[in-house]
Structure 1
Amino acid sequence: MESVDQNGAVLSSQLTVDNVDVEFLPLIYEIIRCVERDPHDTSQKARESQDTSQKILELQRKLDQARNQIRKLPGVEYSKEEQLQKLETLRKQLQLKKDLLLKYRHMCTFDIPKS
């Protein structure tokens, strides 16, 4: 179930890294192109300056949106040490479950007589 917030970002019940919008390069490229242009006409310079300012504000909004999305990712609230400890605990649980499955697989099966 997906919805769209006021910034146009897609929100789902479980946000993942793949859902975070981090496409900044096209905006940065446009800003650089605007800065590199050097019009000789003063009215054109003012318009170019306004366009550049608009693109910079758009980039700032996109960065803020990405920050907010990243803060909502599961596990971000934990420190690196806590994340590593949690990962190690999950690995131990996985190994224990694998061992149990292997043990049950090799257990003797009882033949139940059919009546």
Structure 2
Amino acid sequence: MEAIEQNGSIAAPTNLTVDDVDVDFLPLIYDIIRSVERDPHDSTQKTRESQDISQKILELHKKFDEARAQIGRLPGVEYSKEEQLKKLETFRKQLQLKKDLLRKYREMCTFEIPK
């Protein structure tokens, strides 16, 4: 996805990581459950509590939608499981080749320079 700045130019997409995705739903869920468990006896208070619960549920749905949008922007999500596994195997092979090259260079003879 491309990010568009206010002046109309295209900005570089931001690199989003898993740690940046906001998936902290438990406080909202806890508030909803606590609100449902309360049983006010006054009908006007019941109406107000019902509206508060509805508002909290809407906030939770909004938070779910935001999380879905953020997850959709994570790098690599566009690949299927098979493609991801194929890339992982390729990267593992590259890592092993680089490790082998490093080991080879370390074991090479070093030449002493006369002073």
TM-score, normalised with respect to structure 2: 0.83
Output the aligned Cα RMSD. Answer: 1.4
> Equivalents in 2 of 1:100, 1:39: separation in Å?
72
Give the unaligned 5+ runs of structure 1. 1-11
SS at match of 1:38: coil
| Structure 1 residue 113: Cα displacement | 4.1
How many Å separate the matches in 1 of 2:73 and 2:113?
A: 53
Percent identity over paired residues:
78
> Which residue of structure 2 aligns with residue 73 of structure 1?
74
Alignment of 1:80-95 (within 5 A): 80-95=81-96
Deviation beyond 3 Å, 4+ runs, structure 1: 111-114
**SS, match of residue 14 in structure 1:** coil
Match of 1:5 in 2: none
What corresponds to 2:3 in structure 1? none
Q: Counterpart of 1:3?
A: none
- Normalising by structure 1, we get a TM-score of 0.83
Aligned length: 103
1:70 maps to amino acid: I
Rounded to whole Å, the distance in 1 between the matches of 2:44 and 2:109 is 88
Distance 2:44 2:35 in 1: 15
